[in-house]
Structure formats: C-alpha cells, structure tokens
Amino acid sequence: MNITILGAGAWGTALAISFSHDHTVQLWGRDTHQITEMGTQRKNIRYLSGITIPESITLTSDFNAALSGADLVLSVVPTAALRETLRALAKTAPGLPVIWACKGFEQTSGKLAHQIAAEELGKQAQYGVLSGPSFAREVAEGKPAALTLAANDKQFADETARKLHNNRLRVYSCTDIAGVELGGALKNVIAIAAGISDGLGLGNNARAALITRGLAEATRLGLRLGGKLETFMGLTGLGDLVLTTTGDLSRNRRVGLALASGEPISAILQNLGHVAEGVYTAPEVVRIAANLGLEMPLTEAVCGVIEGKLTAAAAAEALMRRDPKTEAYS
C-alpha cells in the first residue's frame, strides 16, 4: 500500500518508520528547511533526535507530490491545523481515504476531528482516527505498542487496520469514532492533573485515585457525547490514560509537573517545544460539560491552574475538600 503521512513531527515520523517496513511511505512536512535537513541527515533532529529514518521513506515538502499515487493518507498535523489540511486534501485529491492521529477539540468550534472531516470531506468519504497508548519514540524504536483504528465504515476500519497491523504495532478496529477521539482528548487533561499531583509530591495513592476518578470523569462526558462505555475501558480510554498519566515521555504530564513548581503556562509551553493538547482541551471540556450540566472537577481544577486562578496546591486542596459521593462512571 502507498501511504502518505502529512506532518513530520515526532508522531508522523514514528508512524512513517513503523509502516515503512511493509508499505511504501511518503512523509510530508510544510517546513522545507526541516524536510531538507531530514533528507540529508536521515534524522528528525527537531522532534525525534537519535532515530534513523530509513532510506525507503520519501521526504517532501510538496503537498501535491506527496499525494501522488497515494492509497491512504494519514494526517498527523495538530488538531488546530486539521481543518486546513483536510480542506487542501479534498481539493487536491478528492475521495482519497484519510485517517488522522491528532487529539483534542477544535478551539474555534469545539468540534471533534470526525465532525471537521464530515464538513470538509463530506459524509460519504472514507475516514477514521488512529489512537491509543503510544509514545512516538518507542514506536520509532520498534518497541511493541497497540492502537485502535475507528472509522465511519466498518469494512474500511477492518481492512485498513489489517493492512497497518505489523509484528510491532498491533492495530485493532472499531466504529466508535466519537469514543476513540474523546478518550484521546480527555486523557491529556487528566495527565496534566497527574503531573501536578506528582509535582506536589502527593504520592502514589493520590495518583491512583486521580487516574481512576479521571477515567470516571472522562467516561461521563464521553457517554453523553456519543461514545461507548467499552471504548473508554479499552486502549484509547484506560490504556492511553494510564500511559499518559504515568510515562515520563508524556508532554501533558510534564506540563503538570512544571505547573506544580509554579511556572507560568506561557514559559512551560515555550520550553516544551511540542504541542501539549491538554492545555487547549481543558477549557473546551469545561465549556461543553457546563452546557450538558455535568460536573468535571478535575478538569475545572486543571483549568484554574493553567489560567493562573489557582495555585497547584490550592487546586489539590479544593479537590480533597469536595463532599463524598457515590462512585459512578455514568
């Protein structure tokens, strides 16, 4: 299969490396200087240093050339750039199946990626989302991982998952696009909360409670927005949540650790050098939950710290002072 990957960040590069073992892969990036450097050195020094890019992967900054001959497009640009990318794709190569690997809500509209795709590609197009517990560096190094591909068409989901599946990257399929996207988006907010907890030195007990109640919080909202319960208990729900809240490679967890030390969010993001979607997802989640009449205490606390309205310690104390409730996921 000829696969075109749009987005030469850490995750786009890692997926290109993984899929290049079984498929012909073109990797596109909008930064001509970066792509030229990657082609010369066969490394993505900016986002994935120390990993060699196989010679079989074609690198290009020419959007039209990247799409030429493609059987499948994998968009790995940030959520903020997804609409622009899909619009360009629909104009250049209409009808080409596309999968995205970004996580979060569109800031201007609060829409999920599949809603954007329906608007830009049309509801009859074949599209889906690839998500799950996976750090780019580990995938690029060939370490085992498992992902879920959710698509609007079951046959497309099953067949594409089978083609992308390899002996290091297991790919499962389903049709719960909303659930998969929501799990991927909401876990980033909980990861910031986990980082704050760890940064404050609150201990393993607190982290375990936070992860569990974070899953409950995410599931409540996810079910109201059309996701399925089993999705939130699977790879793109519980699995991704555990990885992102505990792994040292998690960007969102690192944001939480820095917030706990008192750093302002502007400085944290500048030093991070990567996109941390949880920072932009948190206020959208609070807004959506308020419209639905749902309580999202962890997300509200994270927002308060990000916006400078609460110190990390004050946010933790406020959560502990909440009245006891019946444990529930819906």
Domains and CATH numbers, the chain: 2-175 (3.40.50.720), 179-320 (1.10.1040.10)
Q: Which residues of 139-170 are buried (b: 16+ CB within 10 A; e: fewer)?
A: bbeeeebebbbbbbbeebbbebbebbbeeebb
- Confidence at 140, pLDDT banded by 50, 70, 90: very high
Which tens digits make up the pLDDT trace of 281-299?
Answer: 999 999 999 999 999 999 9
Give the per-residue pLDDT at 108.
83
**Which pLDDT belongs to residue 15?**
98
Q: What is the pLDDT of residues 243-279, one digit of tens each?
A: 999 999 999 999 999 999 999 999 999 888 777 889 9
For residues 303 and 248, what is the distance between their CA atoms, to the nearest angstrom?
A: 22
**Structure token digits, residue 266:** 């502007």
pLDDT of residue 329: 61
The reported pLDDT for the residue numbered 276 is 86
> Which residue, 180, 278, 186, is CA-closest to 231?
180
Q: Say which range, 46-55, 121-130, 148-157, 321-330, has the weakest mean pLDDT.
A: 321-330
Q: Is 80 exposed, middle or buried (0-12, 13-18, 19+ CB in 10 A)?
A: middle
Phi, psi of 190 (to 5 degrees): -65, -30
Q: Are 301 and 189 in contact (CB under 8 A)?
A: no
Structure confidence at residue 322 (pLDDT): 84
Q: What backbone torsions phi and psi does residue 147 show, to the nearest 5 degrees?
A: -125, 165
pLDDT value for 172: 98
Give the model confidence (pLDDT) of 62-119 as tens digits.
Answer: 999 999 999 999 999 999 999 999 999 999 999 999 999 999 999 889 999 999 999 9
pLDDT at position 274 is 75
Which positions ≥6 away from 247 have C-beta within 8 Å? 135, 253
Residue 330: its pLDDT value, please? 56
Q: What's the CA gap between 198 and 98, in Å, rounded?
A: 38
pTM given for the model: 0.93
Interval 140-164 mean pLDDT = 97
Take residue 137 and report the two structure tokens written for it: 């560096």
Residue range 189-200: mean pLDDT, rounded: 96
pLDDT for 163 beyond 60: yes
First-to-last alpha carbon distance for the chain, in angstroms, is: 41
Closest CA to 5 of 60, 49, 83: 60
Q: What is the pLDDT of residue 191?
A: 96
Residues labelled as active-site residues: 187
- Percent with pLDDT over 90 in the chain: 92
Query: Can you tell me the mean pLDDT for 1-18?
Result: 97
Phi, psi of 25 (to 5 degrees): -125, 135
CA 251 to chain centre: 11
Q: What is the mean pLDDT of the chain?
A: 95
pLDDT digits (tens, 9 = 90+) for 310-319: 999 999 999 9
Q: Is the pLDDT of residue 34 over 70?
A: yes
| pLDDT at residue 326 is higher than 90 | no
Quick check: 35 pLDDT over 60? yes
**Running DSSP on this structure, what letter comes out for residue 53?**
P
